[in-house]
Amino acid sequence: MRTRPLKVALLGCGVVGSEVARIMTTHADDLAARIGAPVELAGVAVRRPSKVREGIDPALITTDATALVQRGDIDVVVEVIGGIEPARTLITTAFENGASVVSANKALLAEDGAALHAAAEQYGRDLYYEAAVAGAIPLVRPLRESLAGDKVNRVLGIVNGTTNFILDKMDTSGAGYSEALDEATALGYAEADPTADVEGFDAAAKAAILAGIAFHTRVKIGDVHREGITEVTAADIASARRMGCTVKLLAICERAADGASVTARVHPAMIPLSHPLASVREAYNAVFVEAEAAGQLMFYGPGAGGSPTASAVLGDLVAVCRNKLGEATGPGESAYTRLPVSPMGEVVTRYHISLDVADKPGVLAQVATVFAEQGVSIDTVRQQGKDGEASLVVVTHRAPDAALSGTVEALRKLDTVRGVASIMRVEGE
């Protein structure tokens, strides 16, 4: 074993960063044995140096992250500060000064991953980011390495623990969205500002990363169709239950049947209770990967939190350190297919549409005519009503999303339709 330690700089010492530092200290001997050399925490960049950080030598604390990554003796930079800047500049500066990088920054990777990979390749460094997607669940490396010889056609999963907790509580307890969000906040699953989670931005960033790796093409967060869960109601949950379904926020990345394009989307969807994703409870994540040779693979586990995310960071740290010792680098970006990302309107989906309609003869015929004119086939219809008012629930067969959206707009123009109570896609069948 080499006795000279590999030096690690830590950017950020919040929930994840502090746990990374703790594990590096408490598991130092095991990490050294697995790597083939000791690892040494050489500096920790923070914004608030006065805060007490148990187990971390105060002499390592600095507010000058730029000077830390420019030192020249740093072997690996661990970036867990998040956001676009200054993280992007710090990572590229680290590459320029001889360090490889381990990052948990999904937003930056989804926005500017191609440039970061290009910088890593230019300077001969590693860029690893297992922790950017689904916490402790090994997902990036299996896609990037274990399935490198296979053809992945679809990635489908729950990649945000906060929204899964909220939807699970709405389903199991009958709570409304606001009540479930309050509980998620009280338990620490939701941030004080939950927008990134509940509006689907977090899941969309992860979907962009997964689609890029799975399909060997460049997918940015702006390419991902995104819908959050703020409009999901208790009535939607009840409708799903009547259909033998539950509601989940899904990230879905697919290769087109002809192989000429890909799609990436995040939105709430009804899935059958028989589907394995339906049983994913609380704040857990689960992802299905469908490949030609391997078939269906499912990855399941805690998708967030200090310890699970730190576990993924440390796994990458070990791999990058081993590469350093062997004077090698791991896999970089693979974007050789250059497949275009199709817009959501071209995606073939199913809809569950709940309408408030007048309770009188001929309404169903009018509604059916609209579907026929838009080229959308109806699977099932359920109608209930009294005292001049009624509800009509229509589940469609699969059709281009643009046709389904056009159908909804045409339905809104009918005099007999009082309003569209809810619209939700149906997946997993």
Q: Please state, in angstroms and rounded to a whole number, the distance separating the CA atoms of residues 91 and 119.
A: 9
pLDDT at position 329 is: 96
> Reduced to 3 states, what is the DSSP secondary structure of residue 49?
coil
CA distances from 131 to 106, 146, 310 (A): 8, 17, 7
- What does the pLDDT average to over 374-395? 85
Question: What is the overall mean pLDDT for the chain?
Answer: 94
Q: Please state the rounded mean pLDDT for residues 184-195.
A: 91
Q: DSSP secondary structure string, 157-200?
A: EE--HHHHHHHHHHHHH---HHHHHHHHHHTTSS-SS-HHHHTS
CB 23 within 8 A of CB 317: no
pLDDT at 429 over 80: no
Q: Tell me the C-alpha distance between 345 and 406, whole Å.
A: 10
Q: Does the structure show a pLDDT above 90 at 74? A: yes
Mean pLDDT of 85-105: 98
Token representation of residue 341: 């990302």
Query: CB–CB of 270/178 below 8 Å?
Result: no
Would you place residue 385 in the very low, low, confident or very high pLDDT band (cuts 50, 70, 90)? low
- Mean pLDDT of all residues in 189-217: 96
pLDDT at 386: 59
**Across 144-148, 256-260, 349-353, 388-392, least confident range:** 388-392
The residue annotated as part of the active site, out of 7, 169, 206, 248, is 206
Q: What is the pTM of this model?
A: 0.94
At residue 245, the pLDDT reads 95
In the predicted structure, residue 306 carries a pLDDT above the cut 80 = yes
Q: Once rounded to an integer, what is the mean pLDDT over residues 116-120?
A: 98
pLDDT at 70: 98
Question: What proportion of the chain, given as a percentage, has pLDDT over 90?
Answer: 88
Tens-place pLDDT, residues 235-272: 899 999 988 999 999 999 999 999 999 999 999 999 99
Measured in degrees and rounded to the nearest 5, phi and psi for residue 193 equal -110, 100
Mean pLDDT of 376-404: 87
Residue 33 is predicted with a pLDDT of: 97
Task: Map tokens 């959050």 to a residue.
Answer: 228
- How far apart CA 154 and CA 268 sit, in angstroms, is 18
Measured over all CA atoms, what is the biggest interatomic distance in the chain, rounded to whole angstroms?
A: 85
Amino acid at 79: E
Among candidate residues 286, 16, 19, 298, the one with its CA nearest the CA of residue 134: 286
Closest of 377, 409, 422, 406 to residue 227, by C-alpha: 422
- Residues 197-205, mean pLDDT to the nearest whole number: 97
Whole-angstrom distance, CA of residue 399 vs CA of residue 125: 45
Percent of the chain with pLDDT over 70: 99
Residue 388 has pLDDT above 70, yes or no: no
Active site residue 7: no
- Confidence class for position 387, pLDDT limits 50, 70, 90: low
Q: What is the pLDDT of residues 152-181, one digit of tens each?
A: 999 999 999 999 999 999 999 999 999 999
